Amino acid sequence: MLLNKPSGITSNRALQVSKRLLAATKAGHTGTLDPMAQGLLPVCLGQATRFSSALLQADKTYTATMKLGYVSNTGDAEGVIEQLIDPDVISAKLDIQQVADVVHTFLGQSSQIPPMYSALKKDGKALYRYAREGITIERQPREIFIHDISLDAWSKREMTITVRCGSGTFIRTLAEDIAKKMGYESAYLTALNRISIGSFELSQSCTLKELEQEPQISRTRFLLPVDGLLQDMPRIMLNNQEVSRFQQGQAIRKLVAANQQPQQDGMLRVYDENNYFLGLGAWQESDTLVPKKVLLAQA
């Protein structure tokens, strides 16, 4: 299910409410949003949790609004905020084209130092836990990739950008880095909205309120098929005999046309002749399909 998480609650809280409303016994989400942030949060239920990792490395798109000339110890409006510089002084020296030009310099690959208030771990302990204890841990720069970035609005004290980035990018840190390059010394996020993950768009999502107001019997209309997570993978169809072997976890010898030779070690979606999704397999050799993740047969 594609959930539009509201600002003000944790991703785990949104997950637990969704799980309860859909009477699911097992649930997980892909890609945590900070409590202040809102937007697209894919929620996997039941057997879909086994395939949730497919979205972890997907590109993500955000709109972010930042307050210039200030710093927050958390990087957002929930932290302790301090003014570093009068933003009006810097803004008076800039025009909107100069600001847009600075923003565009962040396109492509660059290094980023992760924030202390993050879920990254040191010795099995999340960095934000150290931060809450007043402890600062040295962090190594990490490579990130910005596919697209644009300036949506800029005033003397605030600016809004839209960013499409690779996995592992911290928008809070990006906001600080952009502000520093413009001369504001720092910035913190006042709003963050995730509008896409991979091929999924925020326009496809539902809210917790919509889910709650829907009669219990029809809430499943918000659910998408499991293989919706895996559309970037190639697919293969099995006959009835092959389906039985696949569901029992047995390797399958299968010849394919010369122009459809499989890539070694590449995962692919597996279907029966009725186009029912069976799970994931991989080619062990050029003619041997090995089951990797198999959906339990429905009663």
Catalytic site positions = 34
Q: What radius of gyration do the chain's Cα atoms show?
A: 23
For residue 26, the number of C-alpha atoms closer than 13 Å in the C-beta half-sphere is 7
Q: Per DSSP, what are the bridge partners of residue 158? A: 67
- Among 23, 46, 32, which residue's Cα sits nearest to residue 3? 32
| Distance (Å) of CA 83 to CA 56, 67, 91, 185 | 35, 10, 15, 10
Q: 235-256 in b/e burial notation, b at 16+ Cβ within 10 A?
A: ebebeeebbeebbeeeebeeee
For the record, the structure tokens of 157 come out as 């004290």
Give Cα 210 distance to the centre of its chain. Answer: 22
Torsion angle of alpha carbons 126, 131, 132, 133, nearest 10°? 100
Question: What's the burial of 263, exposed, middle or buried (CB within 10 Å: 0-12/13-18/19+)?
Answer: exposed
Give Cα 161 distance to the centre of its chain. Answer: 18
d(Cα 145, Cα 148) in Å, to the nearest integer?
9
